[in-house]
A and B are shown apart, each in its own frame.
Chain A
Amino acid sequence: MSYTLQCPKCHAMMRTYNRNGIQIEQCDGCRGIFLDYGELEALTRLEAQWAQPAAPPPPAPAPYAQPGGYPQPAPYAQPAPYAQPGNYGQPAWGHGHGGHGGQRHGGFARMLFSS
């Protein structure tokens, strides 16, 4: 955050904030807000997303999706040597069988090694 602009209304200094990826300047004196070109539209878009009917989290990525259930892609669906669901299983809230392969996700690789 930094001071870059002077408020056109009360002439106090304005402070830059980053709100959800949008830079806004807010006056320390009168709390007025200055938006750059396009930022109002960006905020309106965000607001529309926010106001969407609350609902379930985003669906799983299409390549893995299966109608009527949780994704259970073929590559890891219970390889033969481990086909003992009783010993490994899944909790009631689990994803289904196996998993779709951590190596496809950079995020998963990072998560293996950090808190």
Chain B
Amino acid sequence: MAAMARLAAQFTPLPPLAAAGPPGPAEPPGRQRRSGPVVVSRRDDRLVVRCGAIVLKAHAAGTDPDHLGARLRLAARPALREVLLPALAARDAPQTFMLRIGSRLVSAWPAGHALDERDADTAPWAPAGSLLARLHRAPSASGELVGLPSATVLRRLADRIARLRPYAGHPLVVPVLAAHAVLPAIPHPVAPGQPRATLPRQPTATLPGRPTALIHGDWHFGQLVDLPGAGWRIIDVDDLGFGDPAWDLARPAAWFACGLLPVDRWARFLDAYRAGGGPAVPAEGDPWPALDLPARALTIEYAATAVAAHLGVAAPSPAQSPTGTGFSTGSMSPLDDVGREFVAACARIASAYRSVPG
């Protein structure tokens, strides 16, 4: 934490913000910041700390420095500055966008207002659709994209399915595994100039005949910040890369398909995406031939994650459980209505695709 705060001084703040009087944007009532470094989020082994007008992110251990470097350079491109939050450069190396603390890679970003669950009813559906369309239309033949990896999608799916397998007879696990069993394997996307063999292992990315674009890989409303004086920007480049743009619409599509998202909000999002010329879905008509597979996969990932948490097998632990399954069981938490909807959707997926796999 202290090392992170010291590191903040080694990055160049965004000029317009640095000149704008008090450091950082004013917070809405009830969300005042404390002075000094503040932990914004700590999840898995990623740490995000805010130091005044700069937010520092310590990326997960084991992050590939070449991949992260390419992703950060992309986020600093002037052509994308109205879409992605720009990565800040190191003071003494204007083309360097990450520094190290020990073994950790740390990137720096201008601070903006993030959204949280209190904003559920006012989430910016239309601006989100527009931003994703702009991201997906970014030219992908530029030399700056050399070295950019394929996007990472479904980061949790394989892990959560593995955690559920020892509980294969459990009534909540049965439909999840059944839906997973009818999910087709899909080949990697191929980035321009990259041989297929160099791509990281990825279970599911692009179907033949689908467009390949620059995509975020893990998009949801927590991946937007409002940058004062600038507007909405997309954050978190850890999964950014080439892939089928439908993956960035997969979460909202899954929410809608599972009956959790009212059609008017879904329509605002999809209309704005189409109005922006987004390539993931046809400009008119049924979007589901494009969205079906990503939405199904995310639905299964959501269900598997919820059921694993419910059974207390979601958190990795070095300890062996008494039954020797390899997973230490934590305390059981109730499965909420949302989790139940995802499990119910898995049952429908399994029955809809059982006779026609793929």
Q: Are A102 and B288 in contact (CB under 8 A)?
A: no
A79→B348 CA distance, assembly (Å): 25
Interface flag for B171 (CB, 8 Å): yes
Q: Are B257 and A93 in contact (CB under 8 A)?
A: yes
Q: Which residues of B contact A50 (CB under 8 A)?
A: 169-171
B264 partner, pick from A56, A57, A82, A110, beta carbons under 8 A: A82
Q: Which residues of B contact A112 (CB under 8 A)?
A: 117, 120, 123, 220-222, 255
A58→B172 CA distance, assembly (Å): 8
A55→B201 CA distance, assembly (Å): 34
Q: Are B117 and A110 in contact (CB under 8 A)?
A: yes
Interface flag for B291 (CB, 8 Å): yes
Interface flag for A92 (CB, 8 Å): yes
Beyond A88-B270, A109-B117, whether A54 also contacts B257 by CB under 8 A is no
Q: Are A18 and B338 in contact (CB under 8 A)?
A: no
Interface residues on chain B, number (Cβ under 8 Å): 70
> Which residue from chain B places its CB closest to the CB of A78 in the assembled complex?
B263
A21→B346 CA distance, assembly (Å): 26
B155 partner, pick from A58, A108, A115, beta carbons under 8 A: A115
Q: Are A95 and B169 in contact (CB under 8 A)?
A: no
Q: Are B115 and A113 in contact (CB under 8 A)?
A: yes
Interface flag for A81 (CB, 8 Å): yes
The B-contacting residues of A in range 68-115, CB under 8 angstroms, are 70-71, 75-76, 78-79, 81-82, 86-103, 105-115
Q: Which residues of B contact A60 (CB under 8 A)?
A: 340-341, 344
A1→B322 CA distance, assembly (Å): 12
A81→B268 CA distance, assembly (Å): 11
In the assembled complex, the CB of A40 is this many whole angstroms from the nearest CB of chain B, namely 16
A106→B288 CA distance, assembly (Å): 27
A57→B335 CA distance, assembly (Å): 12
Q: Which residues of B contact A107 (CB under 8 A)?
A: 336-339
A33→B331 CA distance, assembly (Å): 18
Q: Which residues of B contact A82 (CB under 8 A)?
A: 263-264, 267
Q: Are B259 and A91 in contact (CB under 8 A)?
A: no
Interface flag for B321 (CB, 8 Å): yes
Size category, A interface? 35 or more
Q: Are B172 and A96 in contact (CB under 8 A)?
A: no
Q: Which residues of B contact A94 (CB under 8 A)?
A: 256-259, 348
In the assembled complex, the CB of A98 is this many whole angstroms from the nearest CB of chain B, namely 4
Q: Are B332 and A20 in contact (CB under 8 A)?
A: yes
Q: Are B174 and A1 in contact (CB under 8 A)?
A: no
Q: Which residues of A contact B331 (CB under 8 A)?
A: 18, 20-21
Q: Which residues of B contact A71 (CB under 8 A)?
A: 259
Q: Are A81 and B260 in contact (CB under 8 A)?
A: no
Interface flag for A9 (CB, 8 Å): no
Interface flag for A67 (CB, 8 Å): no
B117 partner, pick from A17, A21, A88, A106, beta carbons under 8 A: A106
A90 partner, pick from B117, B288, B322, B344, beta carbons under 8 A: B288
> Which residue from chain A places its CB closest to the CB of B306 in the assembled complex?
A107
Interface flag for B208 (CB, 8 Å): no
In the assembled complex, the CB of A69 is this many whole angstroms from the nearest CB of chain B, namely 11
Instruction: Name the 5 nearest CB pairs between A and B, nearest first.
Output: A95-B259, A107-B338, A109-B120, A113-B222, A109-B117
Q: Which residues of A contact B (CB under 8 A)?
A: 1, 17-21, 24, 26, 31, 33, 50, 52, 54-61, 70-71, 75-76, 78-79, 81-82, 86-103, 105-115
Q: Which residues of B contact A (CB under 8 A)?
A: 115-121, 123, 155-156, 169-172, 174-175, 218, 220-222, 255-267, 270, 284-288, 291-292, 295-296, 302, 311-312, 319, 321-322, 328-332, 336-341, 343-349, 351-353
